[in-house]
Structure 1
Amino acid sequence: MDSKPQWMSDPEMCSYFNSLPPYVQENMMQSSMSFCSMQELRACAEKLQRAE
């Protein structure tokens, strides 16, 4: 069974996620967030990076 979130099957979203700092990636994966668009993914990543 593949444990990756469905949104990671999108090459653009996966590439962007992989470019994020490790602590942002970890927060996203641990919270099991789901993203329907690149815009949602970017907004979440930016929010997490501002909180650091």
Structure 2
Amino acid sequence: MQNEQNPFTDPDLKQYFSSLPSIVQESIEQSGVKFESLSQLKSFAEGMIHKT
């Protein structure tokens, strides 16, 4: 189930976030981290993906 609550307003961040598995989306939301660039978000998400 994809999360309909996308916390990003930047189109690139929003698109990338939407492409992630729901478990990674949830982890990002729960982390409370504010991502200011696509590279920051990708690094965090890739770390989460490799942990699961």
TM-score, normalisation: structure 1:
0.83
Which runs of 5 or more residues in structure 1 are unaligned? Answer: none
- The runs of at least 4 aligned residues of structure 1 exceeding 2 Å deviation read none
Q: What percentage of residue pairs aligned between the two structures are identical?
A: 38
Matched residue, 1:34: 34
Aligned length: 47
TM-score, normalisation: structure 2:
0.83
* Within-5 A mapping of 1:1-52: 5=7, 8-52=8-52
Q: CA RMSD in A?
A: 1.2
Task: Name the larger-Rg structure.
Answer: 1
**1: CA distance, partners of 2:32 / 2:25:** 11
Identify the structure with the greater helix proportion: 1
The structure with higher relative contact order (CA 8 Å, sep 6+) is: 1
